[in-house]
Structures are given as structure tokens and as C-alpha cells.
């Protein structure tokens, strides 16, 4: 079978690999869709810790090809794979803080992932999607699960003014979830295509960061600001958009060594709540339920579908203007 391998030197190439066997406690999945993520770019550039060599891809799902006892699914089922494998025994796992498990192993980061025609994954990581779901939509369960974690931390109750910084897939999903929670949502991104997409999907408006800051100067800040762009500029901008006593939920991932200047005085006087949101602790099943129900709109978020051979160029390049999500179909 074919897979996209990141080797010891940081080079990406499609290689031939042995097909996974049906080991006890595992399910074999033929991958139908794997999303390319900003984390994949960081890994490729050496900006995020990962094993090398490794087959990339942590946002994926597909059709079950083989099962073992306890899988809970059948051959032919459409499934999503939760990439974050935890021990289930430690204090953090028992408390529901699975993202902090000291034995956390991430598929596509620490072990071979979904940029492959076939993959064997532990039964514990397999989540079934309804048969009517597009096979490409299986690639959205992981980012949606991460967004649900951010929503849980935000604790929206309805009626809040919310700003979402970043019009990529995380920002578009968070904007939809915040709207479903009863918030008034403003999408903050410099790209007009992404602004318009967010408005089409329920945001009240789409503006650039400088315009959003002018809105704040004229009419007050936002109750909750979600930082989904993963840049130092938007991390600082999110704090300027929040009202006194407001919250900033940080989902965007910068390079590991990025630093920003901050004034503790402002943090205290503004009484800001700045919270990081990491991975998908106990939210993957909920994401699959939302996808199966059609509650979140996904088709407009797919910018293009590519094959494995096109992935190296896509990861080395910056996202094209207006691009939201590239989905890889390994069969192409």
C-alpha cells in the first residue's frame, strides 16, 4: 500500500508500506479522507515535537475493512478514528483530562497515521458515523472534537457577543458551534472569502482585525474571543478584543518556540481569563454525533480534495487565500 512518510531528515515522500494485519484489539480502516492540518505543517518544519520517521495524518476516517472482537463496528461501516490514545488509568485520565495523560500517544504524530491507504487502529479509537455521511466528512471529526473542547471551556450560555479570530477550519467550526449555542458571532479574518463563508454559515458579520478593534473602541469588547488562527498577532489581538472580565479561548497552535510580549498590568486590570484548549478530551464521540446529525455544515469547508502525491507540495506551501480545509483521498 502507499503512505506519505516524513523521514528522519524532514523530507516527505509517498512510499510503499506493508498492509496492516488484523492484530488483537484493532480495526483495519481503508482511509477515505484525511485532513491536512496546521499541525502537520509545524511537524514538517520541525516546529512541533513528533517522531521521525512517521506517516503523518491525525484527522481521518474511512471504511472498516477488518475487525476483531470488541471493535463495536462491522466491515463496511464508515468510521472516524480518534488519534489520541491514552492509558485510561492515570489520575488525569480518571478525571477526564485525557489530553494530559503521561502515556498519550498520537496517531500521525508519535505513530503512523492516516495519510495512508490502510491503517490499523485500536478498537478504543474507532467511532462509527451514520451510513449517509460523506466519506470525506470523516476527516472533520477530530478538528470538530477539538473545537468542542474549546466550547466547553468557554461555557457559553446564550446571548454572548463572540469574536472568532481565524477563518480556517477551526474558526469556521467554532463560529458554527457558538452560533448554535445562541451567541452573536463576528468572524475576524483578513480574507474576504473566509469572512463571507462565515456569514453564509450564520455569523452576523465578517471583519478584519483592525476593523474589529475599531468596533471595540466604539461599542465595547466581546464577552468571549476564540483565537483559532495560531499566530502571535492574533493571540495579542484577541486580548484587545475582549471586554473587561471577558474570556479568551486559545485553540490556535503557534510554533513551539514563538513568544509574545505581554503586560501583566493589563491582564490584572482587565481581569481577562485566558485559557488554552488542547486536543479533544472525551469529545470525539460528540463530534461524530454532530456530524451524523448534519448539525454542522461541512461541504463548504472543503477547499479541494487531493491525492497522496500532492501532499508534500501542499504542506510546504502556505494556505492559499480563502482556503479552509484540504482533504486527502489516499485512493487518488
Is 42 assigned a catalytic role? yes
10 and 307 in contact (C-beta within 8 Å)?
Answer: no
Is 58 assigned a catalytic role? no
Task: Return the residue matching grid coordinates 463576528.
Answer: 186
Give per-residue pLDDT as tens, 239-293: 999 999 999 999 999 999 999 999 999 999 999 999 999 999 999 999 999 999 9
Which element (helix H / strand E) includes 63?
strand 59-66
Question: Cα–Cα distance between 159 and 224 in angstroms, integer?
Answer: 11
SS3 55: strand
64 and 74 in contact (C-beta within 8 Å)?
Answer: yes
CA distances from 318 to 40, 245, 314 (A): 12, 35, 8
CA 180-183-187 angle, to 5 degrees, is 95
Give per-residue pLDDT as tens, 17-40: 999 999 999 999 999 999 999 999
Q: Which CATH superfamily is domain 2-144+280-328 in?
A: Medium-chain alcohol dehydrogenases, catalytic domain (3.90.180.10)
- List of residues 6+ apart from 263 with CB closer than 8 A: none
Return the half-sphere exposure (C-beta side, CA atoms, 13 A cut-off) of residue 18: 3
Q: What is the DSSP string of 1-54?
A: -EEEEE-TTS-EEEEE-PPPP--TTEEEEEEEEEE--HHHHHHHTT-S---SSE
Q: For the chain, which residues make up each domain, given as ranges?
A: 2-144+280-328, 147-276
Q: Which of 32, 39, 224, 254 is catalytic?
A: 39
Which element (helix H / strand E) includes 302?
strand 302-306
Q: What percent of the chain has pLDDT over 90?
A: 97
**pTM of the predicted protein model:** 0.97
The sign of the torsion formed by the CA atoms of 249, 317, 49, 328 equals positive
332 residues of the chain, pLDDT tens digit each? 999 999 988 899 999 999 999 999 999 999 999 999 999 999 999 999 999 999 999 999 999 999 999 999 999 999 999 999 999 999 999 999 999 999 999 999 999 999 999 999 999 999 999 999 999 999 999 999 999 999 999 999 999 999 999 999 999 999 999 999 999 999 999 999 999 999 999 999 999 999 999 999 998 999 999 999 999 999 999 999 999 999 999 999 999 999 999 999 999 999 999 999 999 999 999 999 999 999 999 999 999 999 999 999 999 998 899 999 999 999 99
Query: Does the 147-276 domain belong in CATH 3.30.1180.20?
Result: no
CA distances from 271 to 18, 191, 266, 267, 268 (A): 55, 31, 8, 6, 5
Q: Which of 42, 58, 137, 284 is catalytic?
A: 42
Amino acid at each position: 500500500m502507499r503512505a506519505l512518510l516524513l523521514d528522519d531528515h524532514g523530507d516527505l515522500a509517498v512510499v510503499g508500506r506493508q498492509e496492516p494485519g488484523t492484530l488483537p484489539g484493532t480495526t483495519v480502516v481503508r482511509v477515505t479522507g484525511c485532513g491536512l492540518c496546521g499541525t502537520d505543517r509545524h511537524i514538517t518544519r520541525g516546529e512541533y515535537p513528533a517522531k521521525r520517521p512517521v506517516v503523518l495524518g491525525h484527522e481521518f476516517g474511512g471504511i472498516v475493512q477488518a475487525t476483531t472482537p470488541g471493535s463495536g463496528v462491522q466491515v463496511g461501516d464508515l468510521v472516524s478514528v480518534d488519534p489520541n490514545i491514552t492509558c485510561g488509568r492515570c489520575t488525569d485520565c480518571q478525571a477526564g483530562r485525557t489530553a494530559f495523560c503521561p502515556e498519550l500517544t498520537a496517531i500521525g504524530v508519535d505513530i503512523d497515521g492516516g495519510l495512508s491507504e490502510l491503517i490499523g487502529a485500536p478498537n478504543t479509537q474507532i467511532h462509527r458515523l451514520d451510513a449517509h455521511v460523506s466519506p470525506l466528512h470523516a476527516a472533520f471529526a477530530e478538528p470538530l472534537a477539538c473545537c468542542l473542547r474549546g466550547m466547553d471551556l468557554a461555557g457559553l450560555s446564550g446571548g454572548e457577543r463572540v469574536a472568532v479570530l481565524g477563518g480556517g477550519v477551526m474558526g469556521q467550526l467554532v463560529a458554527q458551534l457558538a452560533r448554535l449555542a445562541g451567541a452573536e458571532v463576528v468572524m475576524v479574518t483578513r480574507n474576504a472569502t473566509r469572512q463571507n463563508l462565515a456569514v453564509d454559515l450564520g455569523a452576523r458579520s465578517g471583519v478584519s482585525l483592525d476593523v474589529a478593534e475599531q468596533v471595540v473602541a466604539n461599542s465595547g469588547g466581546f464577552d468571549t474571543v476564540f483565537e483559532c488562527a495560531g499566530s502571535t498577532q492574533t493571540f495579542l489581538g484577541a486580548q484587545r478584543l475582549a471586554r473587561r472580565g471577558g474570556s479568551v479561548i486559545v485553540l490556535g497552535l503557534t510554533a513551539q518556540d514563538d513568544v509574545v510580549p505581554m503586560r501583566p498590568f493589563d491582564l490584572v486590570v482587565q481581569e481577562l481569563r485566558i485559557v488554552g484548549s488542547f486536543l479533544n478530551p472525551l469529545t470525539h464521540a460528540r463530534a461524530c454525533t454532530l456530524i451524523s446529525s448534519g448539525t454542522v455544515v461541512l461541504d463548504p469547508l472543503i477547499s479541494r480534495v487531493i491525492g497522496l502525491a500532492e501532499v508534500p507540495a501542499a504542506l510546504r506551501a502556505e494556505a492559499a487565500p480563502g482556503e479552509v480545509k484540504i482533504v486527502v483521498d489516499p485512493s487518488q
